[in-house]
Structure formats: structure tokens, C-alpha cells
Amino acid sequence: MTAQPRPVPEASAQPAIFRLSGVVKSYGPHNAIDHVDLEIRPRELFTLLGPSGSGKSTILRAIAGLIGIDGGSLTIEGRDVRNVPTHQRNIGMVFQSLALFPHMSVFDNIAFPLRMRREPQGDIARRVAQSLDIVRLPKIAERRVHELSGGQQQRVALARALVYNPKLLLLDEPLGALDKRLREEMQLEIVRLHREIDVTIINVTHDQVEAMVLSDRVGVMSDGKLMQVGSGEVLYRRPANRFVADFLGRANVVDGTLRIDGAGPAVITPGGARIAVTPERQIPDGRRATAILRAEDIEMAVPGDSGSPGLGGEVTLRLFEGEAVYYEIAVPGIGRPLRVASRTGEIPNGAKVRLTWPRDKVWAVAEDSDG
Amino acid sequence: MAETYTGLRWRLIDGLIAAGRVLRPGRIAKAQPYLLLLPAVLLVSFLAVGLLWLGWLSIHAYDTFLMQAGKISAEQYALLFEPPSGPFYQQTLLRTLALSLTVTAGAVLLGLPVAYVIIRTPSRALRVALLVLLLVPFLMGEIVRTFAWYLILANRGAVGWVASLFGIEDGGLLGTPIGVFVGMMQVSTPLATLLIMPAMRRIDPNLERAAATLGASPARIWANVIVPLSWPGIVAAIIVVLLLNIAEYDMPAILGLGRLPFVANVIGDIYRLQQNLYLGSAFSLLLLVVSTLLVVVPGLLFLGWLRFRRARRAAA
């Protein structure tokens, strides 16, 4: 199976609704946002993915105007909003803590943005009821916020952020604190809302599964920089650099030098191990490069079966994980043991094995592409 | 001799052990909460005895010429309300209430932003420094502080000097309501700030951010989020500051130059100059009743309103 990028969302033909160019935010000598360029298309569901402290929430706050930026520009529908205060940006935002007003009823919480816009009383009642319908929570308008379950609070927060039809909805890890089942339910809810409502969503998460499941496109962040933007599948199969490869899924990243010989390109480790990489990747001969090999792409066999090809090694760790068995294999010439996810898991600890993989599953990145 | 001494010592220790068995730690532990209450109970009881004594004195007639107590009568209370002296006492009470209420309102209004700034200061060191600054007025004695204001507000002090620059002679604020107001504000504002802070500290800063993204301007964030959520602290500040100000003595005496006496000053004069314990007791009790009503009545009204609103919500 060759990697295919996910079908491009229909929205992509339209011009960007929202654009960050060269945005910088620094705290002292440290850049929390380091020259980030990003274009979001209308109706897109975009996710910023990264470890904590990578600057993804900072970008969201800059977009909302909750923090100022030190350089670059920020435009919404072609209008530079750098000097527009938060309350005039007309952006919806859901916080990780949800930030529902504890002194107000559900109705008053959702009516709040409409009252701030001085909408007529009758319209407010109608639109609050409508938005409670959209998040499938009718009949709770008069409750107090603390009387609701976690999932209901999530929905109320979403309803409040959507009731005034903002062009852009920002989600600052609102699902981060939920347990797994509720989180999956809310993910589906967000996908459903996105399909039903004309809204562009920027979501922030450190959960790669959430990012890939939800999003049209994902941007991976590290240390204030946007490392790569693309569909989840592109990021997973064709990472732009070592960080993205290592961050997503369970990959073996093997450093070495790229050599092109009769058998095609391969990464040769300092220890002399040779890992053939896909010819699709154009890296000049002699460059320092990293081969990226997914744990689930490696086939493992007990040697002597057929004098088989591939790398020889020894099982140093075997962990039963349920749907797969996780192995670590010490391979001579490769510093770090290789990680293998095996479905059968018959091979015991300490066994000598041979590892093989389809060459076109092995991606490579040049060393200085970390940016 | 030495033997008897040793014997006695052992007997003493035996006694202690026996006593310890009776007062087992278990028993002491059970009684402990009540034992800890004892000082407070004693204090309140003495206060109650004092109040009863005041009440008893206040319902007696008193011959100011012979300086002799008479029969039980409402005479002292009549003196507080009827001419010729009644209007003076009533005016004093009104002045006390008006200035106290104004100062309370001012202190809470100024205290809110001060509390907010201190709580939302990101640097811990700066926050502590601001808190210490806030406490400075309490660190100096009341009299020192009042006389410091005396120097500032006097005709030939700082305020008078500034007034003279604008060609106003004797522009000092001593003896004026403004002078007393300023002096009282200086103590009341930090106090109100301290009382508002605990409630305000519990407000999640994300609530303000959320309100901003939802379209609330900074002023409306204050009105709709910060003030309602600081309400417990604001109520505490109003009650404490109001009651302390109603009983204020030094500021009117010193900064008011005695021209604007508060109830406490007049009661002091009645006790010390007229040596009339009976009238003084009556005025004291009147002040107690008025200030109690001032706190309790709005409190009850507020609770009633809350209940009404909840009932209406349940009906809807």
C-alpha cells in the first residue's frame, strides 16, 4: 500500500479566511511563537498538534487577541486584526477549563455573547434555544452550570462559543481533561458540528489520535516553530523532519549517512548497518540523514527459516499490549534498539530474529531539515 | 531523710500517673473542641454582661445636678430625641452614618481595582511587595497616622500650600468633612482591599478571557464577571468597613478639629465631661441598634430577593 494523501477538502480552492505570517511572540530571549506562517481555509478543521510548551496554545491566544504579538501579521478575512481588541474580533473560543460562568444559569451563559452584542430580548431566547438544540441539550437552560455533567458542560461551552455565529472557532484543548470514552464522544460531536455549521475551526491538542481523526489538516509544532502542515496521513507517512517522525506514532529513527549505490538509496549507520530507503526520497549522496521506520511496518522472523534477508538482531524486550505485542530488538550497528509492533507475538524474549520491511515504507529526512 | 525524700518523689510520680489515667488522652481529645471554645465564650459572656449593664443604666432617670440616679424611666432616650439637645444628637448620628456610608462606598470602589491588580500581578516578588505596601497603614499607630494626615491637611501643611498657589488662603482641609473623609479612606481602602482579595483570588482568569472572546469590553467584564464573582468579598468588606467607620473616634476628633463629632466622640464627651453614664449608655445602645439594623436589614432583603429569584426560576 503506497501512502496516499487524504482527499483534499473541498474548501481548499477558496482563499484563506485566516492568515498568520511571520508571527513572533517572545518572552525574554525565548520565542514562544517563532516566525509562524499559516493559512486556514474557510470551513476547514485545522489542528495544531505538539507537546506541551510547544507554543500551540500561545498561537491560539494570539489569534484571539488575548496576548499581543511582537512581529508579523494576523489577518481575518483579509483584515489585519493585530490592533483589534479581543472583544471586537468576533472569534469563538472554548477553553480547556471551559470557563463557564459559575454565577449564571446555562441560559445566561449562552445568552452572554448575545447580550454583549445588545441583541433584542426575543432573539436571544430563540437563538439560545436553537444553539442548545444544535449541541443536543434541550431542556437544561435553567440549570446552574455546576449541576451539569462534564459532557454537558462541554456542550454548553460549545453552544456559547457558537451562538453568535463566529467565523472562527478556537478550541484550546477542551477535551484534554476528559476520560477516554467521553473524549471520543466529544470528538465525534465536534466533527458533526463542523459538518452541520458553517464555521472554521482551529483545534489545539497534544493527542495525535485526536488530531488525525478530527482534522482536515494538522500542523505539528515544536519549540514555537511550525514544523510541518499537512493531512494526518502525509505527516505520518512523509514527515518533513526527525521531530515530526518521532512525535507521531511509534517510529524508529536511525541516524546515519545517505548512500546511493546500485541497490538504490540507503542510510548507513556509523556502526555499519544498512537501511534501504524509498527511492521516492531525493537526498543527495553523502548527506547526513535519518531513516524513519514505523514499528508496525517491520516484519520479524526467526532466522534459519530460509536463510532470509534483512537485519539480524536479538529480542531484548517483549511487552503484551493487547492488540499487538511490542518488541525491542538489539541490532548490531544501530545504537538504539529497534521497536517492532507484532500482531502475532509468538517470538519469545531473547530469541535471535531477522527483521525485514518493504523498502518503500522507509522514509528518510536530511539532518538539517529540523529547521 | 534522703530515703523519705525518694519515697515522696515516687509517690508523687504515682499520683501523676493515676491522674493521667483519669484524664486519658481520649477524654481530653473529646473535650478539646469545647475547651478551645472557652476563651471565646468567656469573652462573649463578658461583652454580654457589659451590654446588659449598659441597658440597665440607660433605662434610669438621672439628676445631672445632684448627680444621682433615679427610678426606671425612658428619660435618657427622650433626651436623645427631644429638644433642646435631641437635634444635636440626631445630627451627630446622621453625620456619622453619612460619612461612614460614603467612606465605605469609596473604599470598596477603590479597593476592587487595587485587589485585582495585586491578585493578577504575575511576578510573585512584586505581588508580595504590593501586599506589604497595602499593610503599611496598619503597621503604624493610629495616632501617628492621623497626625501625619493632620500635617498634610493643615492650612500651613501640604494641602494648604497647594491651595495658596491658586490664591486660596487657609485652604487646608482640617475641620471639614473632606478632611475626615480622606483620613478615613486611607485606613478603609486597604482594609476593603484585603477583605475583597480572597473572593477575587478564586476567580479563574480564563473567565475573563472567555468573556472577552464572547464580546465583552473590559468595562463589561468588570460589571458582569469580576464584580458578581467577588460578591462575597465585597459584602464582607462593606460590613467590616462600615461598622469600623461608624465607631470611628480619632479621625473626627483630630482631623475634624472637634467640629464634626461622630457618635463615639459625643459619647466620650458625655461620659468624661458630663460624667453622665446613663445618657452615654442610651446613646451607645442607640448606635448599636442602628448599626445592627444597617447590616441586618439589607442582608435580609438580599436573601429574600435571592429566594424570590430562585422561586421564579423554578416556576419558569
Listed by number, the residues of chain A in 29-68 with a beta carbon closer than 8 Å to a beta carbon of chain B are 61, 64-66
Which of A61, A67, A87 has the most B C-beta neighbours within 10 Å, making it the best mutation to test the interface with B? A87
Residue A212: what pLDDT?
Answer: 87
Shortest alpha-carbon distance between residue A220 and chain B (Å): 25
Q: A371 pLDDT band (50/70/90 cuts)? A: very low
Q: Tens digits of per-residue pLDDT, B31-62? A: 777 778 888 888 889 989 989 988 888 888 77
Interchain CB contact of B4 with A (< 8 Å): no
Shortest alpha-carbon distance between residue B229 and chain A (Å): 7
User: What is the H or E stretch that residue A71 is in?
Assistant: strand A71-76
Cα A367 to Cα A220, A240, A244, A290, A339, distances in angstroms: 18, 11, 13, 7, 21
Which chain A residues are closer than 8 Å to B228 by Cβ? 103
Verify whether the Cβ–Cβ distance A99 to B220 is below 8 Å. no
| Domains annotated on chain A, with CATH | 10-237 (3.40.50.300), 250-370 (2.40.50.140)
Q: Tens digits of per-residue pLDDT, A155-184? A: 999 999 999 999 899 999 888 777 888 888
User: What is the H or E stretch that residue A168 is in?
Assistant: strand A168-172
Decide: A173 and A206 in contact? Cβ < 8 Å.
yes
Verify whether the Cβ–Cβ distance B209 to A91 is below 8 Å. no
Verify whether the Cβ–Cβ distance B204 to A97 is below 8 Å. yes
Verify whether the Cβ–Cβ distance B214 to A105 is below 8 Å. no
| Lowest mean pLDDT, pick from A60-74, A112-126, A227-241, A290-304 | A290-304
Q: What average pLDDT does the segment A176-200 reach? A: 86
Dist CA A54 CA A129 (whole Å): 38
**Dihedral over alpha carbons B11, B15, B21, B23 (to 10 degrees):** -160
Chains A–B, number of C-beta pairs less than 8 Å apart = 66
Dist CA A267 CA A290 (whole Å): 7
Say whether pLDDT at A305 is over 70: no
Better pLDDT: B139 or A83: A83
Residue A108: what pLDDT?
Answer: 93
Residue A370: what pLDDT?
Answer: 45
Which chain B residues are closer than 8 Å to A97 by Cβ? 204, 206
Prediction ipTM score: 0.81
Verify whether the Cβ–Cβ distance B213 to A89 is below 8 Å. yes
**B84-315 sits in which CATH class?**
mainly alpha
Q: Tens digits of per-residue pLDDT, A102-135? A: 999 999 999 999 999 999 988 999 999 989 988 8
Interchain CB contact of A103 with B (< 8 Å): yes
Interchain CB contact of A90 with B (< 8 Å): yes
Which chain A residues are closer than 8 Å to B313 by Cβ? 105, 142
Shortest alpha-carbon distance between residue B30 and chain A (Å): 37
Residue A1: what pLDDT?
Answer: 38
Which chain B residues are closer than 8 Å to A117 by Cβ? 215
Q: What average pLDDT does the segment A244-257 reach? A: 87
Say whether pLDDT at A13 is over 60: no
Show me where the domains of chain B are located: 2-43, 84-315
Better pLDDT: A12 or A170: A170
Interchain CB contact of B220 with A (< 8 Å): yes
**Cell numbers given for A207:** 493527542
Verify whether the Cβ–Cβ distance B213 to A93 is below 8 Å. yes
| Lowest mean pLDDT, pick from A104-113, A257-266, A302-311, B125-134 | A302-311
Dist CA A153 CA A197 (whole Å): 20
Residue B85: what pLDDT?
Answer: 81
Q: Measuring CA to CA, which residue among B192, B202, B209, B265 is closest to residue B229? A: B202
Residues (pLDDT < 70) of chain B are: 1-4, 23-29, 313-316
- Which pTM was predicted? 0.78
Residue B4: what pLDDT?
Answer: 67
Task: Quote the DSSP letter at residue B52.
Answer: H
Q: Tens digits of per-residue pLDDT, A320-367? A: 888 888 999 988 888 888 899 888 778 888 888 888 888 888 888 887
Residue B28: what pLDDT?
Answer: 64
Percent of chain B predicted with pLDDT > 70: 95
3-state secondary structure (DSSP) of residue B36: helix
Dist CA A343 CA A354 (whole Å): 16
Say whether pLDDT at A71 is over 80: yes
What average pLDDT does chain A have? Answer: 85
Q: Residue A101: which of B212, B217, B225 has the nearest Cβ?
A: B225
